Chain A
């Protein structure tokens, strides 16, 4: 547990725990000194620099591309176009959703900011200079910008590269029992429905995406340093796309300056860097700038949802029905388990005991960048939680019920777990009423409602323009994808490996397939080994990101590291402990059955003086000690963990806002967040993860949006327009916890990294709408949006039209 020094108010963290507990992060020593090693810090001998020419049009046919002036630039080494790539069969690449995506445009451009040409030059500035020397002639086409009109009969066909295609329809997908749900709605006393948009946003990691490709012409080995959350998956995709043998591809993910789902897939710039290196015979570095990152890499959300919720007169929730129009942009590139085109959206029954539920999701193409699954969404659970938590509030609004009471009386009870939802998920564990009660107590819910009444009276008497709102969200997450039988990415089952090797002197190296982007794996995974083996976390090196050095696995996203790689780590440590028991038995000349484990040592039962410590065992395992014939010696093990189920963390959030009705400005006064992620490996790190996600919630609910004008111009393509919260918009977060371990996880831990991003946007939205007593208005609730909503004319936030 985190302990706070009563004199200073700061945490007391000087000791390294032998296992779980708050401890200072091992990775900080280099980062605070400026000694991290991020992609753009890397310089290879002879390295060239690349830049991408991008489309100014949302939809246009390419008439011609003239590269001669750029090629004549004295410092330019190569100009690569779609035509160059087509000659190599690389003009298009497969996406993670069974579609293809243009690497460099050949026939036409399909979104503003799309990649058209790739210039390789001797330095960063010259590469940019040369972009202006590439002459592209376009024939503009009408663009499809409003997803709600993408399927109109007269809508321009975006994907005419696909033979026989006559519309912009990507997929229809449904989950749940439609007939049973219709039946529930027919029997319901009350039904509320609501149209809501989860607008297009962007994860915007502080470090943008980039890649350095280096093809060794002698060995034929390709080394790619790149910003990837899933290095092994990248290696396999490069092998499949480029036809290179997989053992001749090494992907190295260095320190990553935040990922947030933005760095899962392969972007055209990465492929071009590889081609650039092959063409020039030199390493090629490509890094994008911020506007390129915002315009062309994976966006998040963009779900147009129509939800309905059914209940009895006395407030018993019965069912939920939803149709979704999903705007996927010009290429379907969502990153998710391949059998689930809407990700895990079908957890939208949330934390409630519903008799039936059904969803129907339709995906459409528009003239926008590809993406959809990103920004800590846990594969569309952000949208699912927003839907159900808004619907509960809409129902409460319509019926005049207290939203806290409505939730409290409908939450799943702890004795119902493991609980199978109407949509087929088996929730592992939870104590929802206690988690909610903890949050309401911390917030002082009844006092807040009393204060709110007074504030509203003053407003109604005309004494003040201010209103106060209280918003709740109770969410159930589903993280740790996932069981191989149901979840794969590109046919690769979602199991992850771990390798643990104890050196002769008792120090250890742990190699993992997951890849930290700031979540503290180098510290917390060492703590798991420490807990299992009694080796100090300070004595354990955690290796990630280098595909030549780490076991295969699918990487870090979907909060899956603790559920999958964390389980693999505990299991591999237990395998090492089993070997250590045999070695200790040989050392102590007793039967392994006579030994008792006490963290860090095996002791002979009944003779506590006879013992072997892990240090002694490690040395003995490498020595001339006689071991049983079937024991190889040394002290190491490998493990591949195939999770039996996801983990289902939950949380109860309470947001308090003050709204100035004269200006529409919202100030988040307080935010209480109670999370339950089971066993906490490092409470300090968990709290930091939650803080970051809560800031995301404020950003999405109040500030961040990628709107487009009717021509398809991107109106959120820089930090001047795409507004991220600063320290001024965020309050001091108030965190609480309950601990309900996952029964199927080896250490009882659940994922948590995305919980706050998933759970907080509806809490903020509910708070603002609670203040202004508006049934629904779409995020982001900017001053303009709030001002308009108060006056009964809500904005459509995704389009810049009147």
Chain B
């Protein structure tokens, strides 16, 4: 199995690691970088629990090879908040009870963050379409829709995501 050196910046923290060419980005994030907020919920790219921002785009990190992310900037759920302040999306999920078991939450939060970067004022139909690639088994989605709407009205995607997107587009 061939190995490759990759340079991947995660949440603004640079990293240089040797990975197998077949290693999935989600395993790189979870096991190599120790960022276990990004979850695995399926093996067919349907559930979106592994959603992260890769150079400003929402991707399912189970469907990206770590070597393909060489030279990229990744934003995960751990990068949205510092110890004190949560991002508006994170705050919205808590305020509107948009989570129960919390397993889909990091992917859902990242998908919502990506949606708000693209469309800062989505209506309900746009929010539902925007999280269509993310499955949740607990909430029945409605309070997640409320959470995203709350975030849109209270600061949008948030500082870390905006900075990440600006770096990616520059």
B96:A10 contact, CB within 8 angstroms: yes
Q: A34-B37, A257-B102, A518-B100 are in contact. List 20 more A-B contacts (CB 8 A).
A: A30-B102, A31-B99, A32-B105, A34-B106, A35-B37, A124-B27, A124-B31, A206-B136, A207-B41, A258-B137, A289-B42, A290-B43, A518-B138, A520-B100, A688-B138, A718-B43, A718-B46, A720-B46, A726-B132, A732-B124
Output the least CB separation between B137 and chain A (Å): 5
- Cα distance A443–B135 in the bound complex, in angstroms: 28
Q: Which 7 A-B pairs have the closest CB atoms?
A: A34-B37, A518-B101, A257-B103, A31-B102, A691-B140, A518-B100, A719-B46
Point out the residues of chain B lying under 8 angstroms from A258, CB to CB: 100-101, 103, 137-138
Contact of B39 among A207, A519, A520, A694 (CB under 8 A): A207
Q: For residue A687, which residues in chain B have a CB less than 8 angstroms away from its CB?
A: 97, 143
Name the distance in Å between B154's Cβ and chain A's nearest Cβ: 9
Q: Specify the chain B residue showing the minimal Cβ separation from A260.
A: B137
- If A34-B35, A291-B43 touch, whether A206 touches B95 (CB-CB below 8 Å) is no
Q: Is A29 an interface residue (CB 8 A)?
A: yes
Please give the distance in Å from A607's CB to the nearest CB on chain B.
Answer: 44
B25 within 8 A of A: no
Most chain B CB within 10 A, of A33, A289, A719, is at: A33
Does B53 reach chain A (CB closer than 8 Å)?
Answer: no
Enumerate chain B residues within 8 angstroms of A466, measured Cβ to Cβ.
Answer: none
Q: Is A730 an interface residue (CB 8 A)?
A: yes
Question: In angstroms, how far is the closest chain A Cβ from the Cβ of B36?
Answer: 4
Say yes or no for B44: interface residue by CB 8 A criterion.
yes
Q: Is the CB of B135 within 8 A of A206?
A: yes
Instruction: Tell me the minimal C-beta distance from B152 to chain A in angstroms.
Output: 12
Instruction: Assess whether B104 is interfacial by the CB under 8 Å rule.
Output: yes
Q: Are A28's CB and B42's CB within 8 A?
A: no
Q: B90 to A33, Cβ gap below 8 A?
A: yes
B47 touches A28 (CB 8 A): no
Q: Contact string, A20-41, partner B, CB cutoff 8 A, digits 1/0?
A: 0000110111111111111011
By the criterion CB–CB under 8 Å, are A33 and B37 in contact?
Answer: yes
One of A36, A695, A727 near B145 (C-beta < 8 A): A727
Residues of A within 8 A of B100 (CB): 258, 518-520, 688-689, 692
A290-B41, A695-B140 known; A206 and B96 CB under 8 Å? no
Contact across chains for A727 and B144 when beta carbons are under 8 A apart: yes
Closest to B103 in A: A257
Query: When A257-B39, A258-B137, A692-B138 are in contact, do A32 and B78 touch as well, CB less than 8 Å?
Result: no
Q: Which residues from chain A contact B58 at a C-beta distance below 8 Å?
A: none
CA distance A290 to B103 in the complex (A): 14
Find chain B residues with CB under 8 A from A25 CB: 94, 97
Assembled-state Cα–Cα distance A290/B137 (Å): 14
Chain B nearest CB, measured from A122 CB (Å):
13
Contact call A28/B93, Cβ cutoff below 8 A: yes
B81 touches A33 (CB 8 A): yes
18 contacts between A and B (CB under 8 A): A8-B153, A10-B95, A11-B95, A32-B109, A40-B40, A206-B101, A206-B135, A207-B101, A258-B101, A290-B47, A518-B102, A687-B143, A692-B137, A695-B137, A695-B139, A719-B46, A719-B47, A727-B132
Whether B102 pairs with A718 at a CB distance below 8 angstroms is no
- Complex CA distance for A653 and B30, rounded to whole angstroms: 42
Which residues on A sit within 8 Å (CB–CB) of B129?
727-728
The interface bits of chain B over 76-111 (1 if a CB of A lies within 8 angstroms of the residue's CB, else 0) are 111011000010001001111101111111100100
Cα–Cα distance between A188 and B40 once the two chains are bound (Å): 56
Instruction: Tell me how far the C-beta of A665 lies from the nearest C-beta in chain B, rounded to whole angstroms.
Output: 17
In the complex, whether A612 has a CB less than 8 A from a CB of chain B is no
Are A207 and B103 interface neighbours, CB within 8 A? yes
Measured in the bound complex, the distance between the Cα atoms of B36 and A124 in whole Å is 16
A31 to B135, CA, bound (A): 16
| Bound-complex Cα distance A454 to B70 (A) | 60
B137 touches A125 (CB 8 A): no
Residue A255 interfacial (CB < 8 Å): yes
Could you tell me if A206 and B145 are in contact, using CB atoms closer than 8 angstroms? no
A206 and B104: CB pair below 8 A? yes
Interface residues on chain B, size class = 35 or more
How would residues 699 to 726 of chain A score, 1 for a CB under 8 Å from any chain B CB and 0 otherwise?
Answer: 0000000000000000000111000101
- Contact partner of A693 (CB less than 8 A), chosen from B36, B43, B90, B140, is B140
Q: Contact flags (1/0) for A722-752 with B, using CB distance below 8 Å?
A: 0010111010110000000000000000000
Most chain B Cβ neighbours within 10 Å, of A255, A291, A695: A695
Distance of A24 Cα from B97 Cα, bound (Å)? 7
A204 touches B137 (CB 8 A): yes
Judging by beta carbons under 8 Å apart, are B141 and A695 in contact?
yes
Could you tell me if A724 and B132 are in contact, using CB atoms closer than 8 angstroms?
Answer: no
A684, CB-defined interface residue at 8 Å: yes
Q: Contacts A124-B27, A691-B139 given: A517-B101 contact, CB under 8 Å?
A: yes
A interface footprint on B32-70 (CB within 8 Å = 1, 0 otherwise) = 000111111111101101000000000000000000000
Within the complex, what minimum Cβ distance (angstroms) separates A404 from chain B?
A: 24
Q: Which residues of A contact B109 (CB under 8 A)?
A: 32
Residue of A nearest to B93 (CB): A32
Whole-angstrom distance between the alpha carbons of A240 and B2 in the complex? 47
> A690 to chain B: which residues have CB within 8 Å?
140
A28 and B140 form a contact (CB under 8 A): no
Q: How far is the CB of B26 from chain A (nearest CB, A)?
A: 11
Residues of the A chain whose Cβ atoms lie less than 8 Å from the Cβ of B42: 289-290, 718-719
- Chain B contacts for A27, CB-based, 8 A: 102
Q: Is A758 an interface residue (CB 8 A)?
A: no
* B128 interface residue per 8 A CB criterion: yes
User: Would you call B135 and A726 a contact (CB within 8 A)?
Assistant: yes
Neighbouring A residues of B77 by C-beta, 8 Å: 32-34
Closest to B100 in A: A518
Whether A205 is near chain B, meaning CB under 8 Å from some CB there, is yes
Residues of A with C-beta under 8 A to B27: 124
A125 x B78 contact (CB < 8 A): no
> B159 near A: Cβ within 8 Å?
no
Who on chain B is nearest to A42 by CB? B36
Complex CA–CA separation, A124 to B27 (angstroms): 10
In contact, B101 and A28 (Cβ under 8 angstroms): no
Cα separation A8 to B27 with both chains bound (whole Å): 40
Q: In the complex the two chains form, what is the Cα distance from A24 to B95 in whole Å?
A: 6
Which positions 503-533 of chain A face chain B at CB distance < 8 Å?
A: 517-520
In angstroms, Cα B139 to Cα A685, docked, is 10
Interface string of B1-42 (1 = CB under 8 A from A): 000000000000000000010110001001100011111111
B122-170 contacts to A (CB < 8 Å): 124, 127-129, 131-146, 150, 153
B39 CB to nearest chain A CB (Å): 7
The interface residues of chain B lying within 8 Å CB-to-CB of A35 are 37, 78
Q: Are A256 and B101 in contact (CB-based, < 8 A)?
A: yes
Question: Within the assembled complex, what's the spacing in Å between the Cα atoms of A291 and B40?
Answer: 13
Least Cβ–Cβ distance between B13 and chain A, in angstroms: 14
A131 to chain B, nearest CB (A): 14
A720 in contact with B139 given A10-B146, A257-B39 (CB within 8 Å):
no
Q: Are A290 and B44 in contact (CB under 8 A)?
A: yes
Contact partners of B124 in chain A: CB under 8 A: 732
Q: Which of B39, B86, B133, B142 contacts A206 (CB 8 A)?
A: B39
Q: B141 — which chain A residues lie within 8 A by C-beta?
A: 691, 695, 726-727, 730
The verdict on A85 contacting chain B, using a C-beta distance below 8 Å, is: no
Which single member of B40, B99, B132, B136 contacts A32 (CB below 8 Å)?
A: B99
Q: Tell me the smallest distance from the CB of A681 to a CB of chain B, in Å.
A: 14
Query: What residues on B are CB-neighbors of A28 within 8 Å?
Result: 93-94, 99, 102
Q: Provide the residues of chain A in CB contact with B23, threshold 8 Å.
A: 125
B22 touches A125 (CB 8 A): yes
A27 CA to B44 CA, complexed, in Å:
29
Determine whether the beta carbon of A733 is less than 8 Å from that of B142. yes
In the complex, whether A355 has a CB less than 8 A from a CB of chain B is: no
What chain A residues lie within 8 Å of B106 (beta carbons)? 32, 34
Instruction: State how many angstroms separate the Cβ of A722 from the closest Cβ of chain B.
Output: 10
A694 to B138 alpha-carbon distance, docked (Å): 10
Residues of A near B44 (CB, < 8 A) are 290, 718-720
